[in-house]
């Protein structure tokens, strides 16, 4: 398994490089790979091509890498924690809280505060839901997993209804902004957000990876894992907080990009099996590949118009997943 796993990781790293290169080349303006290499180390080069690559496409690719990796990582951790394959980072209502705050900010016309207004509002909304969830589901330091899931789903429904209320009361001009944000969009990427998310997702990965073995034990059930010496409450708290913060930061930086955190862990489970020691890095890498590729499709398929990336992740992810699942069922 170790050798097979290493080969698969190598393949994913190469795939990520190729997808990133492809994403830098394609767009309204085609830039050849050779043209890209000539721009290496010349960020200040005074040309339109240099501006497109350095200021538009590269930050967007890096943001896609960070957000895709982090969402998939959060998804795989939460599916492991809840032992439920239908759970995804947005199930707990964190995205709902973030989206509600952003919708309120947009409809009240407060986004004039600058580029960071929406991410900050989104993060505050997400954080409020995380705290509320924890307070409602923890009793004497013990986190009730089923209670957490049900409370999260309810909070998600409540936020969705409130978002609809805000949208119903919003002006038509604001509606477009809210809708794009809710469907997820990487087009606002800049170097600050991209590098921040890159550091967050890589940091999140390295901090959460030591939990992989405990997630394997949790697959047997809480009591079985406790019999193996796993500190159950610390593990549950750690996984919940890490996955929630990663989700909150992803939503704050690029809106609600659906399906990545659900479908990528499942696809990787078909490749690596249920072992989180392989599943977590595999999902992180393939999540990055998947989102960068979907974003490239979203900004080129009806170019020069851009589609929200969430539309593409839903369609591509769903089709890929059904295809992989049917192949597995047929034993191919």
- By the criterion CB under 8 A, which residues form the site for other proteins? 2, 209-210, 212-213, 216-217, 219-221, 223-224, 226-231, 273-275, 277
User: What would the two tokens of residue 48 be?
Assistant: 């339109």
Determine phi and psi for 139, rounding to 5 degrees: -125, 120
User: Which ranges of the chain does DSSP label H, i.e. alpha helix?
Assistant: 2-25, 33-39, 48-51, 58-82, 94-107, 117-137, 145-169, 172-183, 191-208, 212-218, 222-227, 232-254, 260-272, 276-300, 309-329
From the CB of 203, what's the least distance to other proteins, in Å? 17
Considering the complex, state which of residue 156 and residue 212 has its C-beta at the smaller distance from other proteins. Answer: 212
Report the DSSP beta bridge partners of residue 320. none
Considering the complex, state which of residue 191 and residue 209 has its C-beta at the smaller distance from other proteins. Answer: 209
Considering the complex, state which of residue 30 and residue 206 has its C-beta at the smaller distance from other proteins. Answer: 206
C-beta separation of 182 from 255 below 8 A: yes
SS3 310: helix
From the CB of 150, what's the least distance to other proteins, in Å? 20
User: How far apart are alpha carbons 22 and 31 in whole angstroms?
Assistant: 10
User: What would the two tokens of residue 5 be?
Assistant: 């796993």
From the CB of 226, what's the least distance to other proteins, in Å? 6
Considering the complex, state which of residue 42 and residue 227 has its C-beta at the smaller distance from other proteins. Answer: 227
User: What would the two tokens of residue 183 be?
Assistant: 């469907």
Sign for the CA dihedral angle at 54, 55, 57, 58 comes to positive
User: How far apart are alpha carbons 126 and 237 in whole angstroms?
Assistant: 17
Considering the complex, state which of residue 217 and residue 256 has its C-beta at the smaller distance from other proteins. Answer: 217
From the CB of 207, what's the least distance to other proteins, in Å? 12
From the CB of 209, what's the least distance to other proteins, in Å? 8
Considering the complex, state which of residue 71 and residue 73 has its C-beta at the smaller distance from other proteins. Answer: 73
């Amino acid at each position: 398994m170790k050798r097979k796993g290493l080969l698969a990781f190598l393949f994913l790293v190469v795939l990520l490089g190729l997808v990133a290169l492809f994403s830098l080349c394609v767009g309204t303006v085609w830039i050849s790979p050779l043209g890209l290499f000539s721009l290496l180390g010349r960020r200040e080069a005074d040309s339109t091509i240099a501006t497109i690559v350095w200021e538009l496409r590269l930050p967007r690719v890096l943001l896609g890498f960070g957000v895709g990796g982090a969402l998939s990582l959060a998804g795989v951790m939460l599916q492991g924690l809840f032992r439920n394959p239908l759970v995804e980072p947005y199930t707990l209502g964190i995205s709902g809280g973030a989206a509600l705050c952003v919708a309120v900010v947009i409809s009240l016309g407060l986004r004039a505060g600058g580029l960071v207004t929406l991410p900050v509002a989104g993060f505050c909304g997400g954080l409020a839901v995380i705290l509320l969830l924890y307070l409602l589901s923890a009793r004497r330091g013990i986190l009730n997993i089923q209670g957490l899931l049900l409370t999260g789903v309810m909070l998600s429904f409540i936020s969705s209804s409130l978002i609809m209320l805000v949208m119903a009361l919003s002006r038509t001009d604001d509606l477009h902004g809210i809708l794009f944000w809710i469907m997820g969009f990487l087009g606002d990427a800049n170097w600050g957000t991209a590098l921040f998310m890159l550091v967050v997702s890589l940091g999140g990965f390295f901090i959460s990876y030591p939990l992989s073995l405990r997630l394997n034990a949790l697959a047997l059930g809480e009591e079985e894992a406790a019999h193996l010496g796993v500190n159950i409450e610390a593990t549950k708290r750690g996984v919940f907080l890490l996955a929630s913060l990663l989700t909150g930061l992803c939503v704050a930086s690029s809106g609600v990009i659906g399906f990545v955190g659900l479908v990528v862990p499942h696809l990787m489970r078909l490749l690596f099996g249920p072992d989180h020691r392989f599943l977590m890095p595999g999902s992180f890498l393939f999540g990055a590949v998947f989102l960068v590729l979907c974003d490239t499709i979203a900004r080129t398929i009806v170019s020069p118009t851009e589609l929200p990336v969430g539309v593409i992740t839903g369609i591509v992810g769903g089709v890929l997943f059904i295809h992989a699942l049917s192949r597995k069922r047929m034993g191919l």
